[in-house]
Amino acid sequence: MSLRIVVCVKYVPDATGDRHFADDLTVDRDDVDGLLSELDEYAVEQALQIAEEADDAEITVLTVGPEDAKDALRKALSMGADKAIHVEDDDLHGTDVMGTSLVLAKAVEKAGYDLVITGMASTDGTMGVLPAILAERLGVPQVTLLSEVKVEDGTVTGRRDGDSASEQLEASLPAVVSVTDQSGEARYPSFKGIMAAKKKPVESWDLSDLEIEADEVGLEGAWTAVDSAAQRPARTAGTIVKDEGEGGKQLAEFLAGQKFI
């Protein structure tokens, strides 16, 4: 029987662009180019490796996001995923993590899955809690923040490098896994992959396909509210000296002046 892998990928504003908030205090997605979150490339990569090891596996990439989020799906398909699902609905604008996780949980269930793989955090919201919430909602084991992952005989094992210890984890499928950026470089799409991706199926679902009411999601339905967002004042220009042989001493003098020594 085929191993059904669903990879959750997010379409995010480029971190190297001038990111800011829109008037309604949601993330502005119009003025900065979007892309597949770099941290989710690691999830796609691990899915591909797990599929290569399995006798028979199928990888579906899933995103919840605006029209442009298709770009993220295309990138994942060109890396080698088999098919894609795009959950798109005007009522989703402003959804927070509770709403997004609800939509993803319903979509994953509708798609059918043995293994869900996510990134460690999105590069825009950087919460890093969605995988745990998804596991809670689906009622399956969470095997998260793995720097190494393996799937064999219906069991997922992996290494979680925490602050105080490195742990070896084990759970049976179905399960939700998240992988860190230590799990191994993601591959670049090949020319062949890019061409093949154009022919791969991308399904579009909206909220009614998932039997979710509009007031359960979106800015109005959010469980949290952002009241204000202010740009941090730019740091005032400091003193910059060129080392002419005394640079270390000059720096020490500065630190002493600031009472650090």
Ligand X SMILES: Nc1ncnc2c1ncn2[C@@H]1O[C@H](COP(=O)(O)O)[C@@H](O)[C@H]1O
Q: Which residues of this protein are in contact with ligand FAD, per CB under 6 A? A: 38-39, 123, 181
Residues 6+ apart with CB under 8 A from 73: 9, 61, 63, 84, 86, 202
Tokens of 54: 């399995």
Amino acid at 59: I
CA 245 to chain centre: 47
Cβ proximity to ligand FAD, 92 vs 130, nearer residue? 130
- DSSP alpha helix (H) spans, 18-150: 38-53, 70-79, 97-111, 130-138
- Binder to another protein among 37, 60, 180, 183 (CB under 8 A)? 180
Decide: is 121 part of the binding site for another protein (CB under 8 A): yes
Q: Which of 213, 199, 214 is nearest to 84 (CA)?
A: 199
Provide the minimum distance between the beta carbon of 130 and ligand X in the complex, in angstroms, as a whole number. 3
Chosen from ligand X, another protein, ligand FAD, none, partner binding at 91 (C-beta under 5 to 8 Å by type): none
Q: Is the peptide bond before 174 cis (omega within 30 degrees of 0)?
A: yes
Per-residue binding letters, 21-60, with another protein (x by CB under 8 A): x---x-------------x---------------------
Cβ proximity to ligand X, 65 vs 94, nearer residue? 65
Provide the minimum distance between the beta carbon of 164 and ligand FAD in the complex, in angstroms, as a whole number. 19
- Binder to another protein among 87, 120, 149, 210 (CB under 8 A)? 120
